[in-house]
């Protein structure tokens, strides 16, 4: 009877295809390899009222107008900024694992599909925690099993110079979220949107990885 119970429990951790299923924070801490899917801007907004207006490049008559540069272009620039600062070795050190594999195919495809009209708001917007599982469930990934990690970017809030995101770990086989930590800092600085928010969000990511991840992964 005991043997049957053990076998039944074992089946709970394997799919019909023999995939290992990860369900706990201990699995994250013990993982020898983690796949990082990058920065998910699918529900992101820049809360900056002035970016909603048309910038005027006045000629002597004051009639020529040109639209503000696409925020979508800056999203790609922010990802590039972060890649320059934090590579796979950086994340492997912070996550205390032997290897972190980058696979940005899905999140880069999300950027290509962004609509500029949805990227800017007057006030800070939020992603409800209950939405995180739905977002992850829609991920199109090549890997069949393991621990996945994605940073779901919520908002860059000009009023507070704050950037916020959900640092999200999930089981790749089932897309079930294991841990989603909400984290924000207020350290945006620099001239130009690329540097200003690139610096600010790099600070947020590095602060989470350096100070929050380890303690949160140990919590039950």
Rounded to whole angstroms, the Cα distance separating 50 from 171 reads 40
Phi, psi angles (nearest 5°) of residue 44? -85, 145
Query: 200 CB contacts (<8 Å, ≥6 apart)?
Result: 156, 161, 162, 163, 185, 186, 187, 188, 189
Instruction: Determine which helix (DSSP H) or strand (DSSP E) holds 11, and give its type and residue range.
Output: helix 2-11
For each of the chain's 220 residues, which pLDDT tens digit applies? 444 443 334 434 454 457 899 999 999 999 999 999 999 999 999 999 888 763 333 334 444 444 456 899 999 999 999 999 999 999 999 999 999 999 999 999 999 999 998 999 999 999 999 999 999 999 999 999 999 999 999 999 999 999 999 999 999 999 999 999 999 999 999 999 999 999 999 999 999 999 999 999 988 7
pTM, full prediction: 0.87
């Amino acid at each position: 009877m005991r043997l049957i119970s053990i076998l039944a429990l074992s089946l709970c951790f394997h799919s019909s295809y023999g995939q290992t299923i990860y369900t706990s924070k201990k699995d994250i801490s013990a993982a020898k390899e983690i796949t990082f899917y990058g920065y998910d801007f699918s529900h992101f907004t820049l809360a900056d009222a002035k970016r909603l207006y048309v910038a005027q490049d006045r000629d002597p008559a004051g009639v020529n107008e040109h639209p503000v540069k696409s925020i979508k272009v800056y999203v790609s620039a922010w990802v590039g900024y972060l890649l320059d600062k934090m590579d796979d070795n950086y994340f492997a050190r912070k996550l205390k694992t032997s290897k972190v594999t980058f696979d940005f195919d899905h999140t880069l495809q999300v950027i290509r599909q962004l609509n500029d009209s949805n990227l800017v708001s007057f006030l800070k917007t939020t992603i409800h925690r209950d939405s995180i599982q739905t977002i992850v469930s829609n991920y199109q990934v090549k890997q069949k099993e393991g621990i996945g990690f994605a940073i779901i970017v919520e908002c860059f809030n000009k009023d507070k110079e704050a950037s916020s995101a959900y640092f999200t770990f999930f089981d790749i086989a089932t897309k079930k979220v294991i841990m989603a930590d909400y984290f924000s800092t207020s350290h945006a600085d620099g001239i130009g949107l690329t540097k200003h928010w690139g610096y600010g969000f790099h600070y947020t990511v590095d602060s989470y990885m350096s100070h929050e991840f380890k303690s949160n992964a140990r919590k039950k």
